[in-house]
Amino acid sequence: SQQGEEDPQALSIQEGENATMNCSYKTSINNLQWYRQNSGRGLVHLILIRSNEREKHSGRLRVTLDTSKKSSSLLITASRAADTASYFCATGSNYQLIWGAGTKLIIKP
């Protein structure tokens, strides 16, 4: 069953703009992770936020977590063409990660 659900399913913006993706989940979690997948490639870990954290930064990435609303957002600032990819959230609880269907981000030059 799908735990995380990303919104929007697809997003197209101009290079230099900020991109925001959201993830909602259903059950309690230990952590929430964001991954990027370039076309035809494996997934690459971007950032992990624990359930007792509210915000985390890594370079141009900012992740927030609201456990009361069971939601998270990923903000990519000053987008670049190389950010074109699919982005997935995964919630960690017990022994596994449960994945959403992803947001496809396209950065237009």
Partner 1 sequence: DAGITQSPRHKVTETGTPVTLRCHQTENHRYMYWYRQDPGHGLRLIHYSYGVKDTDKGEVSDGYSVSRSKTEDFLLTLESATSSQTSVYFCAISAQESGTEAFFGQGTRLTVV
Residues within the interface to partner 1 (CB under 8 A): 1-2, 4, 30-31, 33, 40-45, 48, 88, 90, 92-102
For the bound state, the minimum distance from the C-beta of residue 100 to partner 1, rounded and expressed in Å, comes to: 5
* 44 or 78: CB nearest partner 1: 44
How far CA 98 is from CA of 16, 63, 68, 77, in Å, comes to: 31, 18, 19, 26
CB nearer to partner 1: pick between 79 and 91: 91
As a whole number of angstroms, the distance between CA 1 and CA 3 comes to 6
User: Which tokens in the block code for residue 48?
Assistant: 């992990």
Shortest CB 16 distance to partner 1, Å: 29
Strand partners, 7: 22
Q: How many residues in the chain?
A: 109
CB of 103 to partner 1, least distance (A): 11
